[in-house]
Amino acid sequence: MQRWALVCLWTLHSRCLFILEFIAMIQQFEINNLQDVEKFLRYLIEPQGLSIGMGFHPDDDFCDYVNNDGERAFSDEDAATLNKYMNDCFAVCEQNNADIYELALQYVKAA
């Protein structure tokens, strides 16, 4: 029983660190070129980032994502920030004749 309690404390501790890292990370993104778009998409999709994985779609509002408990995954403020970055991604892709859906799909398939 003590081992289970330690695992739960470690999991809680890890999640707290993840949330703090997430808050710091989303404030550092600048979407100015296709490399920035790819970096942001990887962060959203891959396990080392937010790990949205196959549930990610570029058209989805971040207010609509839910966690495993059915609760909203992002606060209003975080969702607004992520939505702004996604809008920036769309603009950069349009300026560079790149298909954001194809870019995202390659990371979703790899996740």
pLDDT digits (tens, 9 = 90+) for 43-80: 999 888 888 888 999 999 999 999 888 899 888 999 99
Token pair belonging to 22? 């997430």
> What is the model's pLDDT at position 25?
52
Query: Could you identify the residue written with the tokens 């495993």?
Result: 68
Torsion angle in degrees (nearest 10) through CA of 85, 90, 92, 98? 140
- Comparison of pLDDT for 90 and 78, the residue scoring more: 90
Rounded-to-integer distance, Cα 39 and Cα 29, Å: 9
pLDDT digits (tens, 9 = 90+) for 5-45: 333 333 444 444 444 444 445 657 899 999 999 999 999 99
94 and 33 Cβ atoms separated by less than 8 Å: no
Q: pTM for this structure?
A: 0.74
89 and 98 Cβ atoms separated by less than 8 Å: no
Token pair belonging to 107? 């990371």
104 and 58 Cβ atoms separated by less than 8 Å: yes
Reported as half-sphere exposure (CB side, CA atoms, 13 A), residue 67 has a value of: 8
**Nearest to residue 62, comparing CAs of 81, 89, 45?**
81
For the chain, the structural domain boundaries read 30-110
> What is the model's pLDDT at position 26?
62
